[in-house]
Structure 1
Amino acid sequence: MNKKLLVTGAVLGILGIILGAFAAHGLEKLVDTDAIKSFETGVRYQLYHAFLLLILGGSSFVSLKKKKTIFYLALIGVIFFSGSIYGLATNTLSSFDFKTIAMITPFGGLLLISAWIVMLIGIIRKHDD
C-alpha cells in the first residue's frame, strides 16, 4: 500500500505541475481570467493531495486499513473535484457540456474532506509504540 500511495502521489504531483504550466502558458489565450483562476484552484487541490499521499506513504502514523481508505477517498476526490473544475474551466473548448456534471465538484470536495477526517481519526486512535 505504501508504494501505491507514493506512486499515486508522485503521478498526481507530476500531472499537477504539467496542468499548472498549461494553465499559466496555454490557457491564457483560450479562456477568460476567471476560468484560469478556477483551473488553478483544481491544480492547487490536486497538488495538496499529492503531498498528502506522499506523506502518508512514507509514514506509519495511521494503520494500513486507514491508509487504504484515505487513498481511495483522496484519489476519487481529486478526480471528481479537480477533474470537474478542469472541465468546467475549459467548458467553452469542448463539445461536452461539463455544467451537466457540475454537482460532482462538491461531492469530490466532500471526499477530500473525508480523507483528512479519516486520517485525523487514525492519528488519534493510533497507539504509541
Structure 2
Amino acid sequence: MSVRANRIAEQMKKELGDIIGQKLKDPRIGFVTVTGIDVTGDLQQAKVFISVLGTAKEREDTLIGLSKAKGFIRTEIGQRIRLRKTPEIEFEMDESVAYGNHIESLIRQVNDENEQ
C-alpha cells in the first residue's frame, strides 16, 4: 500500500469510529470497533475490518446494519476527508481478535493442567 493510501486509511479509521459510534442510529448495530482498513492503491475501494462485542447473531445483525448504511457512511467520509472520489466501502469481520482470545484460552488451559 502506498504512503498516501496508508494516510487515507488511518484518517478513514478515525472518522469511521466517530461516524459509527455517534451518527448511526440503527438498532441492529452493536458495539463496533474498527480494527483496520485496507485501501487499494487507486483509492477506489476500502475494506473495513471490524470487531463486534456479542453473539454470532449480534455480529451478523451489525454487518447487515452497516451494509444498509454504506451510502450514508460513504457520504459522511466524503464530507470529512477531501478526496476527488470517496472509496467504495466493504465491511468484514476481523476474526483475528476472536482467534487471539481462543489461543489465549488454550494457553491458559494448558498452564492450568501443568500446575495440577
- Greater relative contact order (CA < 8 Å, ≥ 6 in sequence): 1
TM-score, normalised to structure 1, is: 0.32
What TM-score comes out, normalization by structure 2 length?
Answer: 0.35
Structure 1 or 2: more helix by fraction: 1
| Larger Rg belongs to | 2
